[in-house]
Amino acid sequence: MFVLGIDPGLSRTGYGVIESSGSAMRAVAAGVIRTDPDLAVGTRLFELHRDLGDLVAEYQPEEAAIEAVFVNKNLQTATTVGRASGIAYLVLASAEIPVAEYSPTAVKMAVAGYGKADKDQVQKLVSMRLGLPEAPKPADAADALAIAMCHLQSRKLKAVGR
């Protein structure tokens, strides 16, 4: 089974594809989709739509997971992340791919066992658990892999009735 993890953002959207077979997980791809901040927001969202669509077509994930959008102190940031998240949902719904959403705390808890783990800890644990020679960079790519890992762990817990 292939799972696509998405860490949404307008400037940078992280993505990670994990193949899972039983208890084994393997990173298939990870990276970042970048948009030019000098372009109009609509153009940037269109580019994100196109590039996410290309990823879905290439890897054909059976399920996807997205990090939930939270409003902290900066409403503008939450708004732009929400727009990118909406585009991701649109692409996945168009491809009839089921989507789960996880809070940043849930993702950190699943990967690190601690809901307040920092970015470096998450990157190191993602690389260790997936057997990668080094931590995925940039952090958005590692976060996307962590989101996919969280989803796979959640599926396993649901399967055993927890």
Catalytic-role residue among 36, 47, 51, 140 = 140
Q: Does the annotation mark 67 as catalytic?
A: yes
7 in catalytic set: yes
Q: How far is CA 93 from CA 47, 63, 100, 133, 139, in A?
A: 17, 11, 12, 34, 26
Q: Which CA distances in Å does 110 have to 10, 29, 31, 48, 53?
A: 25, 20, 21, 27, 27
- Sequence-ordered list of residues with C-beta below 8 angstroms from that of 37, at least 6 positions apart, any chain: 11, 44
The catalytic residue among 58, 67, 101, 120 is 67
Candidates 7, 47, 58, 62; catalytic one: 7
Catalytic machinery residues: 7, 67, 140
